[in-house]
Structure 1
Amino acid sequence: MSTPRSRARAADSVVLDDDATLHAMGYPRKLTRRFQAFDNFAISFTIINILSGIFSSFGFGMNAGGPRILVFGWIGVSLMVLLIGAAMAEVASAFPTSGALYFSAGKLAKRHKGAWSWFTGWLNFVGQIGGTAATGYAAATFIQVFAQLQWPSYQPTAHQTVLITAVVIVLQGVANTYTVQLVALLNRISVWWLLIGLVVIVGALIVMPDHHRSASFVTHFENNTGFTSGLYGGMLGLLVTSWTFTGFDGSFHMSEETVRATVSAPKGITRAIGYSAVAGLVLMLALVYSIGDYAAVAGAPAPPVRILVDGLGLRTAKVMLLIVIGAMLFCGLANLTSNTRQIFAFSRDGAMPGSRWWHSVSARTRTPVKAVWLAVVCSLALVVPGWWSHTAFTAIVSVNVVGLFLAYAVPIFLRLRLGDAFQPGPWHLGRWGRPIGWLAVVWILLSSVLFMLPQASPITVDSFNYAPIALAVVLLVATVWWFATARRRFQGPVSYGRPDEVAAMDLV
């Protein structure tokens, strides 16, 4: 029978094991290790955020494949993303650091470690900054949809959307400035907000509408993309699920603040994806079977909101919309948290201009406060073009998803190339590691092509997919920078000394 004293000794040994792992990788402990396993899961679950993802992209899916792709595409793509998450989780167990993707890329590469680490880090950084900006913009958009329902005379403008987005991101920055305990608490709340909100919305859509679609409606196909090929239109519809399942590297980035990180972080990644897949399918089915006039819903400014209004009535729909807006705000908050830990770690290894600023930690809160506000400023910089043009804003943040997934692919590929020389952590896939890893890499490459293809016809300045251009600009800048100066000063993840030496540098 365990006593409080024995449990305390066990907890101490866990912390020491975590610290020993960090010291073995060459880093002193500077962050507070207050995230439990549930907190680590919560951050990825919140960033994936099925309410935010599905409500933001459902309308696109209605026109690119319809119910058949929305439902069966969700099932298929979710399984592929789970493979990506499992392959990433195996790497996370071996290298539980805030640097996550770029750190593991540098450690797993046989040659050119600095280059692999450099490009992975910048893809991850740009993808996360774009994600914070895009999530804030989506929240601002739905806040104004609510305002229109509440006050019919209200007419949203581009300027108002940008201002609301800025307020949202700044407030999320303020929340991230305080202790990691507050961030953990907010992420715990967000999990229950999402799950209870899901039950409320799905329950209302089952009970309240006068009519539901027949069971066979799930096979209905629509192609309103403007392209004549139904196959192409349906393939574009797969992006609905891919857009939703991003940011699960958040659990990896929080490793240095998680207890038993070598196990908790990989479990956080895989559980967040698995639970989101199941819960998202339930929400997707509820929305699909509640569609009334298909053409009217598909052509509405916010199709899921139109489904809620038609099926539940205006008053109830507004309550449901508040649940969705709350989920979007939690999503942005968690995304910013993950973003700041990547900046903190990337700067710790000297990869960013002004690195000595961005990897400093507040003595009072034990959080990387300066990294928080760098992430806020960079996200706001991406939002500013929306003041003049929504197309310009979309063009800039379009690198979000493709940048993140390419950053996911690099350490997984390098782990596969390393073969039997890879030393797994306590959480590993065993003999399934290689086949799962190869399937993950192949799917990332295929889905990345989809992300960069035209998504509407006719192709105009407003409908053009700017993701390839945005990605090319990021890679061009990173490449020029690398060959001009970075390759001489950045050799990949650094070590601050032997384990005993870095242990003496611990600040917590």
Structure 2
Amino acid sequence: MTTEEDSKRLAELGYKQELARTWSGFSNFAISFSIISILAGCFTTFGQAWNNGGPIAISWGWPLISIFILIIGLCMSELVSAYPTAGGIYWWAATMGKPIHGWFTGWLNLIGLIAVTASVDYGCATFLNITINRLTGGGWEASLGNAFLLFVIVLVLHALINIYSHRLISLLQNISVWWHVAGAAIVVAILIFAPSHHQTVGFVFTDTINNSGFGSGEGGIPFWFYVLPLGFLLTQYTITGFDACAHVSEETQGASTAAARGLWQSIFYSAIGGWILLLAFLFAATNVDEINKQGGFVGAIFETALSSPLATAIFAISTIGQFFCGMSCVTSMSRMTYAFSRDGAVPGWRLWSKVDRNRTPVNAILAGCVVAALITLPALWAPPGSTTPVAFLAVVSIAVIGLYLAFLIPIWLRLRMGDKFRPGPWTLGRKYRVMCWIACVEIVIISIYFIMPIKPSAIPGNENFTWTDVNYAPVLVGVVLIGIALWWTLSAKHWFTGPRRTVDELPMP
């Protein structure tokens, strides 16, 4: 499909071509592959799975949950093929349903994208903090304050890159793919050949760990039906943000097929690469006591199994990968902000929907980064004796809940439309029905689990209750949902009509 044909298809959907359509199909795949980033999620949320289930939550949990996520991705690939717009899932929901569907989908998606940007950049800052500490021989203190300072610096850098170099972003997305492939391969090779001994196959595929404080050990109903599912946050968080393929579809050549293919392929290849990487972690995890002592922190594996230079090299490889990931998150988040504002849904929408002379939504980039910094402020505090703020996992949960609930609405609407749906060139055919049902049920289940307390001390009334342990994801998500529901009821339903056409007529062939 030529650029002219892409612009014509966009005009048929109601929009004139404002963003520069310079991205190749590979670049479209690259942005979601970079946002998924096995060098980010596999490292930063490893401890969540280690403490809640142990090896089986990783060795079995990762491929199991990956299959469900791939099904969600395939359902979304069909939708982006039919509707390749920057609004992505918000546009799909408003078109297949009513303005109210678009309203809730758009806000959930926007919240999720801002939260995933915050969590990725904070994770990058955390690993950068550790890397600098190691390189300076302890001269740089790896404190929470310094981690937050680096977080702000990383956010600023990502904003500047996105503002001043549209073509550079596309290039860096492509470089990011190869960095993730080569970097992960190097890490796996180090963990295979450098340690003096490894864990057994039995440990990796059958051992369980329960450091959550819930239940009476590593068995029984509480473990299998509460603790272990909490460990699945590792997979569900890592493999997310793949809707970026839709958000940059107005900048992608041949978007009806390229964006659909890029979306599901980014999930598929990340799932395979991530599983290999995580298995390498587990086989190198020979000092279980020290890993438990450090709260399941993945760095404890490297520090106990490798020489100091090799451990530092792994930290550095992951940090750079996470930097690429955060850059891609800002790109996706800003395009969603631009598209949702273009349709008048965001307060001050005229400001956020502006593009500069380089056809870049500068104001949307700045606004999203500022909000990402604000919602991460609680990460300045951590529970006594811990170096990992629960606030980080809360932001992770917000990202997962916001994004996947936003995915749920258009998938359910497509299921409801049945044969009335007009597919694009990439379609699921008759398989859409069973796949959409599976996707909807999985999203509902994980959304319930990830608003639950992560520790017993997060439950009011517990003798060890502390506010620093509270998972504030349900509070923030609940407040936002109530807020946008009230906003809709009292005001928006009278003026918000969904996507606004920016073209009066179709371009001449």
Smaller-chain TM-score bracket: over 0.9
Moved more, 353-362 or 395-404: 395-404
Is contact 2:48-2:296 (8 Å) kept? no
1:444-489 deviations in Å (ceiling 9; x for gaps): 1111111112222243323232222111111011112212222222
Is structure 2 residue 103 aligned with structure 1 residue 100?
no
Amino acid of the structure 1 residue aligned with 2:279: L
Aligned to 2:369: 376
Instruction: Give the drift of 1:255.
Output: 0.5
Moved more, 207-216 or 226-235: 226-235
Is structure 2 residue 92 aligned with structure 1 residue 86?
no
Instruction: Give the drift of 1:178.
Output: 2.4
**How far apart, CA to CA, are the structure 1 residues paired with 2:189 and 2:452?**
37
Instruction: Give the drift of 1:16.
Output: 1.8
Aligned to 1:202: 188
**How far apart, CA to CA, are the structure 2 residues paired with 1:396 and 1:186?**
26
Instruction: Give the drift of 1:66.
Output: 0.9
Instruction: Give the drift of 1:301.
Output: 5.6
Is contact 1:179-1:366 (8 Å) kept? no
Moved more, 289-298 or 453-462: 453-462
Amino acid of the structure 2 residue aligned with 1:449: I
Report matched runs for 1:118-157 at 5 Å. 118-150=103-135, 151-152=137-138, 154-157=140-143
Name the CA shift for 1:379/1:195 in 2 (closer, same or farther; >3 Å): same
Structure 2 residue aligned with 1:238, among 225, 232, 237? Answer: 232
Is structure 2 residue 500 aligned with structure 1 residue 494?
yes
Name the CA shift for 1:285/1:388 in 2 (closer, same or farther; >3 Å): closer
Aligned to 1:330: 324
Aligned to 2:158: 172
SS at match of 1:455: coil
Aligned to 1:428: 427
Aligned to 2:219: none
Instruction: Give the drift of 1:336.
Output: 0.5
SS at match of 1:262: helix
Moved more, 166-175 or 471-480: 471-480
**How far apart, CA to CA, are the structure 2 residues paired with 1:160 and 1:46?**
26
Is contact 1:85-1:270 (8 Å) kept? yes
Name the CA shift for 1:83/1:308 in 2 (closer, same or farther; >3 Å): same
Is contact 1:146-1:318 (8 Å) kept? yes
Aligned to 1:3: none
Is contact 1:98-1:255 (8 Å) kept? yes
Instruction: Give the drift of 1:393.
Output: 6.5
**How far apart, CA to CA, are the structure 1 residues paired with 2:381 and 2:197?**
42
Is contact 1:89-1:265 (8 Å) kept? yes
Is structure 2 residue 170 aligned with structure 1 residue 184?
yes
**How far apart, CA to CA, are the structure 2 residues paired with 1:303 and 1:393?**
13
Amino acid of the structure 2 residue aligned with 1:227: F
Moved more, 368-377 or 43-52: 368-377
Instruction: Give the drift of 1:499.
Output: 3.5
Name the CA shift for 1:256/1:480 in 2 (closer, same or farther; >3 Å): same
Is contact 1:59-1:298 (8 Å) kept? no
1:29-57 deviations in Å (ceiling 9; x for gaps): 00111111100000000000011101111
Amino acid of the structure 1 residue aligned with 2:101: W
Is structure 2 residue 351 aligned with structure 1 residue 357?
yes
Structure 2, unmatched stretches of 5+, are 216-221, 383-388, 459-464
Instruction: Give the drift of 1:293.
Output: 1.4
Instruction: Give the drift of 1:498.
Output: 4.0
Is structure 2 residue 212 aligned with structure 1 residue 220?
no
Structure 1 residue aligned with 2:243, among 227, 249, 262? Answer: 249
Instruction: Give the drift of 1:60.
Output: 1.8
Moved more, 310-319 or 75-84: 310-319
Instruction: Give the drift of 1:312.
Output: 2.1
Is contact 1:96-1:261 (8 Å) kept? yes
Aligned to 1:450: 449
Name the CA shift for 1:57/1:397 in 2 (closer, same or farther; >3 Å): closer
Report matched runs for 1:45-84 at 5 Å. 45-84=33-72
**How far apart, CA to CA, are the structure 1 residues paired with 2:390 and 2:229?**
23
Is contact 1:395-1:470 (8 Å) kept? no
Amino acid of the structure 2 residue aligned with 1:105: A
State the number of aligned residues. Answer: 486
Aligned to 1:40: 28
Is structure 2 residue 478 aligned with structure 1 residue 485?
no
Is structure 2 residue 99 aligned with structure 1 residue 114?
yes
Amino acid of the structure 1 residue aligned with 2:369: V
**How far apart, CA to CA, are the structure 1 residues paired with 2:253 and 2:340?**
22
Over the aligned positions, Cα root-mean-square deviation in angstroms equals: 1.7
Aligned to 1:25: 13
Structure 2-normalised TM-score?
A: 0.92
Is contact 1:239-1:450 (8 Å) kept? no
**How far apart, CA to CA, are the structure 2 residues paired with 1:117 and 1:198?**
38
**How far apart, CA to CA, are the structure 1 residues paired with 2:165 and 2:21?**
11
Amino acid of the structure 2 residue aligned with 1:194: H
Instruction: Give the drift of 1:379.
Output: 1.5
SS at match of 2:294: coil
**How far apart, CA to CA, are the structure 1 residues paired with 2:230 and 2:84?**
35
Moved more, 318-327 or 447-456: 447-456
SS at match of 1:198: helix
Aligned to 1:311: 305
**How far apart, CA to CA, are the structure 1 residues paired with 2:335 and 2:409?**
19
Is contact 1:402-1:451 (8 Å) kept? yes
Query: Taking every aligned residue pair, what percent have the same amino acid on both sides?
Result: 38
Instruction: Give the drift of 1:388.
Output: 5.6
Is contact 1:398-1:466 (8 Å) kept? no
Is contact 2:119-2:395 (8 Å) kept? no
Amino acid of the structure 2 residue aligned with 1:142: F
Aligned to 2:336: 342
Amino acid of the structure 2 residue aligned with 1:180: H
SS at match of 1:452: coil
Aligned to 2:410: 411
Moved more, 35-44 or 133-142: 133-142
